[in-house]
Amino acid sequence: MTRVLSVASECVPLVKTGGLADVAGALPAALAPHGVEMRTLIPGYRSVMQEVGRDTKVAEWDDLFGGFARVYRGKLGDNVLYVLDAPHLYDRDGRPYSDAHGRDWPDNAERFAALSSAAAMIAADGIEGWMPQVMHCHDWQAGFAPLYLRELGASDRVASLMTIHNIAFQGIARASMISTLGLPRSGFNERGYEYWNNISALKAGLVYADKLSTVSPTYASELMTESFGMGLDGVLRERQADLVGVLNGIDEGIWTPPYKSPDGKAKYRAALREEMGLPDWPGPLCVLISRLTEQKGLDILLQALPALLDRGGQLALLGAGDRDLEEAFLGYAGAHPGVATRIGYDEALARRLVAGGDAILVPSRFEPCGLTQLYGLRYGTLPLVALTGGLADTVINASPAGLAAGAATGVQFHPVTAQALAQALMKLVKLYDDRPTWTRMMKNAMASPVSWEHSAATYAALYSEMVKTA
């Protein structure tokens, strides 16, 4: 049995802003059958503490970055959850990383340095008599943990894995905070945690962790290029022997379609059109569930939409983000009967969109792994995706070869431009009109391997390889 401490800033079902939460929440149960005992450490945000409570205290520190801190034990399914309760850092209104107005908390560096420090101390000293062999750090919020572990003198017996979920977020802090964050000054150089005369928590993790991973094989390759590495490509090229891409999966027990064959979708498509106020048109009903940002390609979708709408297709969108994009899609919906827009996030509506849609659009400029296309595959809601990251690894394109082999599960497009997306939308409509081909693609999609089974086995083997023997 390999003992692993997973360190993350969010985790379903307690707190979620993106796919990281889904991964952190799913991994412990997925890994258990593979001989891994994973316990998870997350921050005690106000909503989390209300859910977990303060009944079982298992660790405490009088001064953790400016105030007292306690660790309480809870449950994550059948697995142990540890919650870092530091009221001076986490007990506040707003979201995990920002206030109610969307502004980053000014003390985010200290807030997540505290998470990293607590993780390193637990890894070094154990907790409740439990000693982890591997510390699995997720994204920049846990990036300092491998460095703190080294400073505690425990990196020779506890291994560390740093996983990049999205390299766009790097945990940048001013150089003047070196002492505040308890970092060794010797590491403030280009081969350490220094990044353009600032501190980078993510770079610290990439430099000091024993192994590195990211959430798809293609994204792992992309990260070593200037186009995708966002200034850290050199670090990753230097450590490419230690970098592995492991695809995310989804919990098939949670994401289960209410129908067993393509024929069952018609009922849910009709219900979705009625709910979203869309007419019964002959073309495909496309759905999109996303943060509304340029990274997700939503600006080029606005330009390409006529290629879908002029051919009888429709779009039902659920998301929030950039204010200009929100207003643009609301305006489109007000002006065109084939578009429906809901601003915000609603988990139940997201499921109805996936169940009722014919296709799911993911036109991202970059996408480390992506989960919505996996939900689409599971439900026979064919993904139309950009050829990047995990989208390239999980969707089999309806190319002549893919169609001839009877293996296609969706449509890919490249480059990520409005023109290429428009051509892909036209291709999607043509495929939809060919009912035997579309039905075959739906069956292929619904049979696609999207669970955690294979990836969990990969992680388990990686952890086992990393364990340090005395």
Q: Which residues contact 437 (CB under 8 A, 6 or more apart)?
A: 403, 431
The answer to whether residues 127 and 3 touch, using CB atoms and an 8 Å cutoff, is no
What gap in Å lies between CA 123 and CA 135, rounded to an integer?
7
Burial environment of residue 63 by CB neighbours within 10 A (0 to 12, 13 to 18, 19 or more): exposed
16 assigned ligand-binding residue: yes
Question: Which residue, among 387, 412, 388, 386, has the nearest Cα to 401 in the 3D structure?
Answer: 412
What gap in Å lies between CA 206 and CA 242, rounded to an integer?
10
**315: which strand partners?**
286, 339
Q: Which helix (H) or strand (E) covers residue 194, if one does?
A: strand 194-195
The two structure tokens encoding residue 283: 């073309």
Q: Is the peptide bond before 13 cis (omega within 30 degrees of 0)?
A: yes
Question: Which residue, among 269, 312, 276, 253, has the nearest Cα to 433 in the 3D structure?
Answer: 312
The answer to whether residues 199 and 193 touch, using CB atoms and an 8 Å cutoff, is yes
Q: Which helix (H) or strand (E) covers residue 39, if one does?
A: strand 36-43
Residue 416 to residues 299, 367, 374, Cα–Cα distance (Å): 11, 12, 20
Q: Is the dihedral of CA 287, 292, 294, 299 positive or negative?
A: positive
Q: Is the peptide bond before 363 cis (omega within 30 degrees of 0)?
A: no
What gap in Å lies between CA 326 and CA 55, rounded to an integer?
43
How is 284-351 classified by DSSP, letter by letter?
A: -EEEEEEEESTTTTHHHHHHHHHHHHTTT-EEEEEEEE-HHHHHHHHHHHHH-TTEEEEES--HHHHH
Binding-site residue ranges for ADP-alpha-D-glucose: 16
Binding-site residue ranges: 16
